[in-house]
Structure 1
Amino acid sequence: MTGRPARRDGRHGLLPPVVAWLIANLFTWLVAKESVAGDGSEVAYWSTGSRHRWDSLHYLSIAKTGYEMFWCRDRYPDFRDVMCGNVAWFPGYPMSVRAVSATGLSYELSAVVVTEVSLFGMFAVLWWLLGARLTWATGLTLAIGTVFPGGIYFHAMFPIATVTLALLVCIAGVKRGSWGIAAAGGFVASSCYLVGAVAVGLLLLSAFFAWPRDTRPMRFVKAGLSAAIAGCGVLWAKWLMWQATGRWDAYETIQESSYEQGELHQPFEEMRKAYSFPFSDWYKPEGPLPWLVENSLAAHRTQLWLNIAFLLLVLAAAAGQLIRNRRLDVEEWAALILTVAIFWVPFFAGAEMSWYRNHAQMFVGLILVRRMYRWVQVSLLAFCSIQYSLLGAMFFAGVLV
């Protein structure tokens, strides 16, 4: 028997995304191991306790008991006079956690399952968008994805992986010419995270670069319908909040009262505040720190520089394609629009302490990374690996929120 001939077309099914998902978890485990002092650090990454931070508790509370809003002093007499509750967080992720918990798993474990399944889905959809052919360009792109800036939150009890997967599904729908798939991805994205609502803008703009088989009026119909359905994710979130609190403005009220958000901010001023935020003074752990943690307490600053560099590289890659070929593929236009929007939204919204996890959703920009020179890809992989280790150390040490 000669056996089955080896495939020479560069296709390997789902093996590359599976390997990418495994490497992402292995690398994150190594970072966690070097970030937690004391006995048992080897297994800290595999515990649910290491996967949650402040906002995780709010997402879990929504999954368990739904929404609530109240004056803080009604329950905590010594607290400042602001609103408390969990209506500042969207329902898409916690409702997914609630659904998985119906299998008998704890809410905490269900949250980790939703996150890790979403991360694998991210690699699988990205792989399809890259053409599902293993080359140097696509292999290095997947490798960068395993250590993407801010990607430590792809493993945490946060909706970051879920909303990023939804954005990639939205792009896939636009690429396939399926407004239904695009709308579904947009709905999930906007129902999981406020930044995910950028999908609505993408779908509106898709009339100008997508749906090539349709007439111009039909392109606008598909773009408008898909955008409207995607926007219903936000309406669903506000409806659930209204059902629980009796107020349609519950989200806006708690954002303004407790977090001084809700209005547009001057983005460059917010960028300056984000860069200079004193994490190392506010949240530095007590006692002797592991070397990696000791040298990562200001890693949010290098994170911002790397995010800016990534944005500029994506813009340069798109410009190069336009100059050489005078066109971008549909998925490349979508990735370009989303990457630019995701970068700026947290600074317009005033996300002084959370922009780094918002920016993790720029993962969609990897669609254009495949167009970069190999030396640029290799350099980006090296810098991302170093930065991932530093930001991951901040996360596992409890410095990040």
Structure 2
Amino acid sequence: MPEAAVADPTARPARRGRRRDVLPPVVAWLAANLLTWMVAKESVAGDGSKVAFWSTAGRHRWDSGHYLSIARTGYEMFRCRDRYANFPDVMCGNAAWFPAYPMAVRAVSATGLSYEPAAVVVTELSLFGMFAVLWWLLGARLTWATGLTLAIGTVFPGGIYFHAMFPIAAGTLGLLVCIAGVKRGSWAIAAAGGFVAVSSHLVGAVAVGMLLLSALFAWQRDTWPVRIAKAVATAALAGCGVLWAKWMAWQATGHWDAYEIIQRSSYGQGDLRQPFDEMRKAYAFPFSDWYKPQGHLSWLMEHSLAAHRPQLWLNTAFVLLVLATAAVRLVRNHRLDVEEWAALILTVGIFLLPFFAGAEKSWYRNHAQMFVGLIWVRHMPRWVQVPLLVCCAMQYALLGAMFFAGVLV
């Protein structure tokens, strides 16, 4: 019998193994939705009714309206009193929000979907993409370490916004793709991921800083001049996400600084803040004074109205665990992998940025993009991973109920 006709007895098991290797991110995405549905089921909306997680209304919060309006009609900016007689004399409009997510929603709506379902589709596809890219970065092999890491990802702190009509999932996916590009040594992939992250949300700006620093830990097959050139070029291309946002706002409003005008006029933002002062304000912010559901409340709802406080403690603990794990690996191995350096820089940057920029009412959703730090969780001992999973699951339920109650912005 010719050699080519001899069957390879390992071929079919190998194919089965590959199929098993791609299942974990699918399972993680399904589990994330199932757990969020369970939280929503125990929550009460602003009108006292039960929350319908599978409806678009259950995923719509304050800024969602701005993103949807950009998708429908583009950017606008106007004096509030020109339309609302009793409104303070400040600037209104949607030019203080970034374009990548609403433009993706507009593209999906071209299939015939209305804008709200299209926004949910973009969000959920982004979340699935997050799990898929994270799984690749973890090595795409199911072990106790990688399995627990994915499990923590399904209930990641602030991750309730991965299901909302917000660009948090899209921006996080961009950051993960950026890390993947740096790991592969592909400046094009890294720049593309950075561009998506930067044009999705202010937090994406940390990608530009990481890419500039990548000359120190990436592109190591190249000479130093080439490494520096690649780092600067990818950072510049990623930063073009800001230029795109400004160009779109200028086209619609005639102001290249429309973002800054609205942030400064309506929200008193735009300057650097004292981070520890901002942390204190964020911790003390009285969300529960805004709204408390009437009548009998479930245990979950009763204990969720100040969930932002343990959220800050948990986020801080997560960053410290990442830093401690990095220090231990650096001492033991005298080096870190490329993706580990990238994830470390991004995680710390994402944690700090809201407190320097001023985001006392929205820092918790910005911090959700620390999801990239899960690359480090696989290196943590199991006695750290398991308690972290338990704490994240409990906090996910509390912050999720706070979200579905309409308390969070």
TM-score after normalising by structure 1: 0.97
- 2:96 is the counterpart of 1:88: yes
Pick one of 284, 292, 304 that aligns with 1:284.
292
Q: CA deviation at 1:197?
A: 1.2
Structure 2 letter corresponding to 1:32: A
Give distance in 2, aligned partners of 1:260 and 1:210. 39
Q: 2:189 is matched with which residue: 157, 177, 181?
A: 181
Deviation at 1:6, TM superposition (A): 7.2
Matching residue's letter, 2:407: V
Q: 1:336-379 deviations in whole A, cap 9, x for unaligned?
A: 00000000000000001000000000000000010000010001
Q: Which residue is 1:379 aligned to? A: 387
Matches within 5 A, 1:177-216: 177-216=185-224
Unaligned stretches of 5+ residues in structure 2: 1-8
Q: CA deviation at 1:40?
A: 7.8
In the TM superposition, residue 39 of structure 1 has moved relative to its aligned partner by 10
**Counterpart in the other structure of 1:98:** 106
Partner-residue secondary structure (3-state), 1:54: coil
Partner of 2:6: none
| Aligned-pair CA distance for 1:14 | 1.7
Q: Distance in 1 between matches of 2:318 and 2:118?
A: 32
Aligned residues: 400
Distance 1:161 1:284 in 2: 28
Is 1:392 equivalent to 2:400 in the alignment? yes
Which residue number in structure 2 is paired with residue 63 of structure 1?
71
Percent of counterpart pairs with the same letter? 79
2:121 alignment counterpart: 113
Q: Distance in 1 between matches of 2:278 and 2:22?
A: 41
Alignment correspondent of 2:354:
346
Q: CA deviation at 1:12?
A: 2.4
Contact 1:48–1:108 (8 Å) recurs in 2: yes
Aligned counterparts of 2:296 and 2:259: Cα–Cα separation in 1? 40
Q: How big is the shift at 1:234?
A: 0.5
Checking the alignment, whether the CA contact within 8 Å between 2:78 and 2:91 is kept in structure 1 is yes
Name the CA distance, whole Å, in 1 between partners of 2:265 and 2:296.
37
1:246-395 alignment, distance < 5 Å:
246-395=254-403
Look up the equivalent residue of 2:301 and give its one-letter code: V
CA distance in 1, matches of 2:48, 2:205: 43
Where do 4+ consecutive residues of structure 1 move more than 2 Å?
A: 2-13, 36-41, 283-291
CA distance in 2 between partners of 1:11 and 1:318 (Å): 32
2:21–2:142 CA contact under 8 A, matched in 1: no
Aligned to 2:56: 48
**Counterpart-to-counterpart distance in 1, 2:345 and 2:362:** 21
Q: SS of the counterpart of 2:21?
A: coil
Q: Assess if the C-alpha contact under 8 Å between 2:44 and 2:293 holds in 1.
A: no
Note if contact 1:285-1:399 (Cα within 8 Å) is conserved in structure 2: no
In the alignment, which residue of structure 2 is the partner of 1:30? 38
CA distance in 2, matches of 1:11, 1:96: 30
Q: Secondary structure at the match of 2:126?
A: helix
Question: How far does the alpha carbon of each residue in 1:223-254 deviate from its partner, in whole angstroms, 9 at most, with x for none?
Answer: 11100000000010011001111011111011
Of 246, 253, 257, which aligns to 1:238?
246
SS in 2 for 1:35: coil
Distance 1:76 1:396, change over 3 A: same
* CA distance in structure 1 between the aligned counterparts of 2:351 and 2:264, rounded to whole angstroms: 22
Residue 11 of structure 1 contacts residue 133 of structure 1 at CA under 8 Å; is this kept in 2? no
Q: CA deviation at 1:11?
A: 7.5
Deviation at 1:294, TM superposition (A): 1.1
Distance 1:271 1:334 in 2: 25
Q: Secondary structure at the match of 1:13?
A: helix
Q: What runs of 5+ residues in structure 1 fail to find an aligned partner?
A: none
* Alpha-carbon distance between aligned partners in 2 of 1:324 and 1:283, rounded to the nearest angstrom: 50
Q: Which residue identity lines up with residue 121 of structure 1 in the other structure?
A: G
Q: Matched residue of 1:127: which SS?
A: helix
Of the structure 1 ranges 30-39 and 228-237, higher mean CA displacement relative to structure 2 is found in 30-39
- Cα distance per residue 1:46-68 (max 9 Å; x no partner): 00000010000000000000000
Match for residue 74 of structure 1 among 65, 82, 90: 82
Matched to 1:102, the amino acid is A
Matched residues in 1 for 2:339 and 2:132: separation?
Answer: 15
CA deviations on 1:45-98 (whole Å, 9 max, x unpaired) are: 000000010000000000000000111111101011111100110001000000
Mark the structure with the bigger radius of gyration. Answer: 2
Q: Is 1:166 paired with 2:174?
A: yes
CA distance in 1, matches of 2:295, 2:262: 35
1:283 and 1:400 in contact (8 A); partners too: no
Q: Give the conservation status (yes or no) of the 8 Å contact 1:207–1:220.
A: yes
Which of 7, 19, 23 aligns to 1:15? It is 23
**Amino acid aligned to 1:224:** V
Q: 1:233 to 1:184 in 2, by over 3 A?
A: same
| Deviations 1:103-156 (CA, angstroms, capped at 9, x unpaired) | 000100000000000000000000000000100000000000000000000000
SS in structure 2 of the partner of residue 239 of structure 1: helix
1:243 to 1:341, Cα distance in 2 relative to 1, 3 A? same
Q: Structure 1 counterpart of 2:137, which letter?
A: L
TM-score (norm 2): 0.95
2:406 is paired with a residue of what secondary structure?
coil
Separation of aligned partners in 2, 1:159 and 1:267? 24
